[in-house]
Amino acid sequence: MSLSTLKLLMIPILIVGGLWAIRNFTGEVATLYTSDAAGQTYTTRIWVVDHGHETWIRSLDPTSPWLDRIVNQPDVQLRRGKTIANFRATPHADRRARINALMAQRYGWAEWFLSRIETRDAAVPVYLDPVS
């Protein structure tokens, strides 16, 4: 294999690896625990933003499996650092512009960079209402 072929093969690997690193190691990355109708629990690594006393997450894909699970089973858990809390999750598409702006403010260059790859036009913000 020639050196130029090797370089061409490395470009997608570096891009995918870089995107993975940005999503998982830039700022706070929380873990969302959702359940399906059968009780199977799923974990999703996700960015989170606080607005006053409100906690928000966001799905960039309105057909995301974790978002579908929230619609059907809104009781979720969110782990931030070592703390796990219970919430009732409610999608709010009408808050898209505000939550996108808060995410951009919180995650800075990483959010800017990723927004050039994936649009935020169909993002679905999800409010996490604390459950005691």
CATH code for the domain of 84: 2.30.110.10
Residue 40 lies in a domain: yes
The yes-or-no verdict on residue 28 having pLDDT over 90 is: no
Does pTM top 0.85 for this prediction?
Answer: no
Residue 119 lies in a domain: yes
Residue 118 lies in a domain: yes
Residue 6 lies in a domain: no
pLDDT-based confidence at residue 132 (cuts at 50, 70, 90):
confident
Residue 20 lies in a domain: no
pLDDT at position 56 = 98
pLDDT at position 122 = 94
pLDDT-based confidence at residue 102 (cuts at 50, 70, 90):
very high
Which residue pairs, CB below 8 angstroms and at least 24 apart, start in 80-89? 80/28, 80/30, 80/48, 84/33, 85/130, 86/130, 86/131, 86/132, 87/55, 87/128, 87/129, 87/130, 87/131, 88/128, 88/129, 88/131, 89/34, 89/57, 89/126, 89/127, 89/128, 89/129
Q: Structurally, how many domains does the chain consist of?
A: 1
Q: What does the mean pLDDT of the chain come to? A: 87
**118: containing domain:** 28-130
| Stretch 31-43: mean pLDDT | 96
